[in-house]
Amino acid sequence: MNPVIALVGRPNVGKSTLFNRLTKSRDAIVADFAGLTRDRHYGHGRQGAREFIVIDTGGFEPEASSGIFSEMAKQTRQAVAEADAVVFVVDARAGVSSQDHDIAKYLRRLGKPCVLTANKAEGMVGAAQLSEFYELGLGEVHAVSAAHGQGIRDLIDLALASLPEPEETELPADEKAAIRLTVAGRPNVGKSTLINTWLGEERLVAFDMPGTTRDAITVPFERNGQRFDLIDTAGLRKKGKVFEAIEKFSVVKTLQAIDSANVVLLLLDATQGVTDQDAHIAGYILERGRAVVLAVNKWDAVDDYQRQLLERSIETRLAFLKFASLHFISAKKRQGLGPLWSALTQAYKAATCKMSTPVLTRLLLEAVQFQSPKRAGMFRPKLRYAHQGGMNPPVIVIHGNSLEHVTDAYKRFLEARFRKEFDLVGTPLRIEMKTSH
């Protein structure tokens, strides 16, 4: 499981700015689960080989009514409870405030790894002002400038230093290996119902209980000769014959499970339509490059008119998952469940497909012959050859000259050709351009 870092601190110290730095977030990446966990933002970050999840606790209105401090404390406590390490942000220019003292007191008692971080410290490294933060009783103060990108790498190293390195979740080596599967979706879409329907039918191979709370539970099972490891998102425990979710929905667990899956089954609720939260989870799956199958559950509970509306809203709101297959199911009435298995296996095969350099290069050159990339001013991009740069998701690296002038429309044209040729249903595909000079 990827470790979780929470950013805490009073308003205006630069937490959101730092969050954007750490996650290099664009709109689609930030999983802002508004409504469920008001005011908390979740994102994915990476430094070298280490990956992590960042929670930003900012976003509330400091001028609002008297309840604001308790609201802040609640937001902070919830984020901190989910985190493995805390980055406590203070304002290097404003100095220590009484609110900083309150937060520090709380963090000292908590005993989680904590990095005291003085932001807005551009041009202040080693400055005397910084020493006053020692009075917070949290040890060394680390100076950064979120706005200018200074001290960020060291900050990440410090925050991760005390945490165990997560185990590599490698791709299964052979075709018989288990597919790591996550069932993701908002609360009440029917995840537990579906899983129980599945597992009730299947003989369980074994059932790992977690060694520590940081481990995810995986439930191994087999279907049509294919092994799956179901990664839990809800704290499943076996109670008698059924699995029961003992914890309420957790955004962090969902994101961690998506991170460590090969394939994600994203469940939508037919009675609710496509919500913002569905779109955020979908965006995160895409950003993380996971293979994905979409299923609309509770199909039994809607009429024809609602069905039409739903299909239209999927087409528009989840247009970025056009490559995924779409299924209409009822977990409760056990309808439409059969085809899901072949879709999950197909998505995994597509995600791990091997593409040889000669075949990729031939396809590339044929595509160029069919339609060459547009000239940009003095430059005409020259696409020379292609090779595979990764799996799950597949990455195709194209080599040539002036490739920075290849338009997005042209990249989409190439993507469509590659997808068709390799039958890439259910997986994102990344195309990278490498210009040689």
**Interface stretch with ligand GDP, choices 161-169, 186-194, 253-261, 308-316 (CB under 6 A):** 186-194
Residue 21 binds ligand GDP (CB under 6 A): no
CA dist 1 → 168, 193, 218, 232 (Å): 9, 25, 12, 11
Residue 193 binds ligand GDP (CB under 6 A): yes
Among residues 2, 6, 8, 15, which is the contact residue for ligand GDP, using CB under 6 A?
15
Residue 145 binds ligand GDP (CB under 6 A): yes
Structure tokens at 176: 């018989």
Torsion of CA 190, 192, 193, 195, to 10 degrees: 120
Structure tokens at 232: 């839990």
The separation between the first and the last C-alpha atoms of the chain, rounded to the nearest angstrom, is: 40
Among residues 142, 180, 298, 405, which is the contact residue for ligand GDP, using CB under 6 A?
298
Identity at 47, one-letter amino acid code: Q
Structure tokens at 356: 């040889």
Residue 392 binds ligand GDP (CB under 6 A): no
Structure tokens at 415: 């993507």
Residue 352 binds ligand GDP (CB under 6 A): no
Least distance (Å) from ligand GDP to the CB of residue 148? 6
- The residue (of 244 and 404) whose beta carbon lies closer to ligand GDP is 244
Residue 300 binds ligand GDP (CB under 6 A): yes
Among residues 12, 162, 308, 407, which is the contact residue for ligand GDP, using CB under 6 A?
12
Residue 190 binds ligand GDP (CB under 6 A): yes
Do residues 320 and 415 touch, judged by C-beta distance below 8 A?
A: no
Do residues 273 and 302 touch, judged by C-beta distance below 8 A?
A: no
Q: Is 185 annotated as a binding residue?
A: yes
Least distance (Å) from ligand GDP to the CB of residue 91? 8
Return the DSSP state at 167: P
Query: 249 in helix, strand or coil?
Result: coil
Q: How many residues bind to ligand GDP according to rule CB under 6 A?
A: 32
Q: Which residues contact 413 (CB under 8 A, 6 or more apart)?
A: 367, 371
- The residue (of 17 and 427) whose beta carbon lies closer to ligand GDP is 17
Q: Is 122 annotated as a binding residue?
A: yes
The CB density around residue 88, as the number of other CB atoms within 10 Å, is: 25
**Helix orientation angle between 357-370 and 408-422, rounded to the nearest 10 degrees:** 130
- The residue (of 41 and 399) whose beta carbon lies closer to ligand GDP is 41
CA dist 422 → 172, 347, 356 (Å): 20, 12, 11
The contact pattern for ligand GDP, residues 317-346, with x = CB under 6 A and - = no contact, is: -------------xxx--------------
Among residues 127, 242, 301, 376, which is the contact residue for ligand GDP, using CB under 6 A?
301
Residue 142 binds ligand GDP (CB under 6 A): no
Q: Which residues pair with 236 in a beta bridge?
A: 245
Do residues 339 and 310 touch, judged by C-beta distance below 8 A?
A: no
Least distance (Å) from ligand GDP to the CB of residue 119? 5
Do residues 365 and 306 touch, judged by C-beta distance below 8 A?
A: no
- The residue (of 268 and 343) whose beta carbon lies closer to ligand GDP is 268
- The residue (of 4 and 234) whose beta carbon lies closer to ligand GDP is 234
User: Which spans of this chain sit near ligand GDP (rule: CB under 6 A)?
Assistant: 9, 11-17, 58, 119-120, 122, 145-148, 185, 187-193, 245, 297-298, 300-301, 330-332
